[in-house]
């Protein structure tokens, strides 16, 4: 079959962990749009969900840091964080090792992708799953793009990764959904936590929704760090989704800065 759904959403741990401290009106509007994304995802009748995430030193560390890695396990466990801290109970999430393997084999023609047969999900994947597959009944295939420990993969390569992912998925018989999850501008877990550059976010989203490759890959990391914080490096996940939906445009379901969640909360879908 091919890719039947594509979208992006935020994953900050505060979204679930500090839920009771946000303005209820904005929080509930955000949750409602995440639920709309869930409904659209379900309506696409996917056999598997690939989550292109930016993890935060849960499985990968500077002793052996892949630029790109895909999970290849029958199941995964998460969250790795304290359950109370994150507000999500620990659970086992089904995978699909065979499909992972076929996608990895196909992608290796284009991208030097690492794989992992063991992977514990952190908030970067668990927060999206909490809203998008709340019964944890859809097989998930995790992808990590290193957005934490520089040197980082260039943005043009992140777009290329998305293209390669699309080619690999289109060659499989399964119906596949792809969700990217990351920033946009934020300074998580630093004294600047809660600062959000809404203007920068809206311009980035404009480029993303238009799938304007040249504009998307034109940011330097120095500019991103200055204007969007180290959390802004996670735009790589969005750019990968743009690469996977090249030639198509997106629809913004929600954007609002929610400082106690430490990020401009975003929900968007891309045409496939």
| Rg, Å, the chain Cα set | 17
- Give 191 or 247: the residue with its C-beta nearer to another protein: 191
Host H or E run for residue 143: strand 140-145
Which has the closest alpha carbon to 178: 186, 187, 169? 169
- Give 79 or 162: the residue with its C-beta nearer to another protein: 79
- Give 85 or 105: the residue with its C-beta nearer to another protein: 85
- Give 59 or 172: the residue with its C-beta nearer to another protein: 59
Residues that bind another protein (CB under 8 A): 18, 20-21, 56-59, 61-63, 80-82, 85, 120, 148-150, 187-196, 225-226, 230, 259-260
- Give 2 or 190: the residue with its C-beta nearer to another protein: 190
Written as six digits, the tokens of 139 are 């097989």
Residue listed under structure tokens 């935020």: 10
Query: Considering the complex, what minimum distance in angstroms separates the CB of residue 29 from another protein?
Result: 17
- Eight-state DSSP code of residue 112: -
Query: Considering the complex, what minimum distance in angstroms separates the CB of residue 147 from another protein?
Result: 10
Query: Considering the complex, what minimum distance in angstroms separates the CB of residue 78 from another protein?
Result: 12
Query: Considering the complex, what minimum distance in angstroms separates the CB of residue 150 from another protein?
Result: 7
DSSP state letters, 12-66: -THHHHTGGGS-HHHHHHHHHHHHHHHHHHHHT--SEEEEEE---SSS--TTS--
Cβ–Cβ < 8 Å for 188, 232: no
Cβ–Cβ < 8 Å for 146, 15: no
> What three-state secondary structure class fits 9?
strand
Written as six digits, the tokens of 272 are 């496939």
Query: Considering the complex, what minimum distance in angstroms separates the CB of residue 61 from another protein?
Result: 5
Query: Considering the complex, what minimum distance in angstroms separates the CB of residue 265 from another protein?
Result: 14
What is the distance between the alpha carbons of residues 196 and 229, in angstroms, rounded to a whole number? 9
- Give 43 or 62: the residue with its C-beta nearer to another protein: 62
Written as six digits, the tokens of 128 are 């999206």
Written as six digits, the tokens of 250 are 């997106």
- Give 91 or 192: the residue with its C-beta nearer to another protein: 192
Query: Considering the complex, what minimum distance in angstroms separates the CB of residue 193 from another protein?
Result: 6
């Amino acid at each position: 079959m091919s890719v039947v759904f594509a979208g992006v959403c935020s994953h900050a741990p505060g979204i679930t962990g500090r839920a009771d401290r946000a303005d209820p009106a904005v929080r509930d509007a955000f949750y409602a749009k995440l639920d709309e994304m869930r409904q659209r995802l379900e309506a696409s009748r996917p056999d598997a969900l690939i989550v292109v995430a930016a993890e935060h030193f849960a499985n990968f560390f500077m002793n052996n840091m892949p630029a790109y890695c895909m999970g290849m396990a029958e199941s995964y466990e998460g969250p790795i964080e304290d359950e109370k801290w994150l507000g999500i109970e620990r659970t086992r999430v089904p995978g699909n090792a065979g499909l992972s393997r076929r996608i990895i084999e196909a992608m290796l023609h284009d991208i030097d992708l690492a794989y992992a047969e063991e992977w514990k999900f952190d908030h970067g994947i668990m927060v999206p799953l909490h809203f998008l597959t709340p019964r944890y009944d859809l097989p998930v295939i995790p992808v990590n793009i290193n957005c934490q420990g520089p040197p980082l993969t260039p943005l043009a390569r992140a777009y290329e990764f998305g293209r390669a992912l699309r080619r690999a998925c289109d060659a499989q018989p399964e119906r596949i959904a792809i969700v990217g999850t990351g920033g946009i501008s934020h300074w998580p877990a630093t004294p600047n936590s809660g600062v959000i550059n809404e203007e920068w976010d809206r311009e980035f989203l404009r480029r993303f929704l238009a799938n304007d490759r040249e504009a998307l890959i034109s940011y330097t990391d120095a500019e991103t760090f200055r204007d969007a914080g180290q959390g802004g490096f996670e735009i790589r996940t969005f750019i990968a989704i743009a690469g996977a939906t090249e030639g198509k445009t997106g629809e913004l379901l929600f954007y609002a800065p929610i400082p106690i969640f430490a990020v401009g909360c975003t929900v968007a879908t891309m045409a496939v």
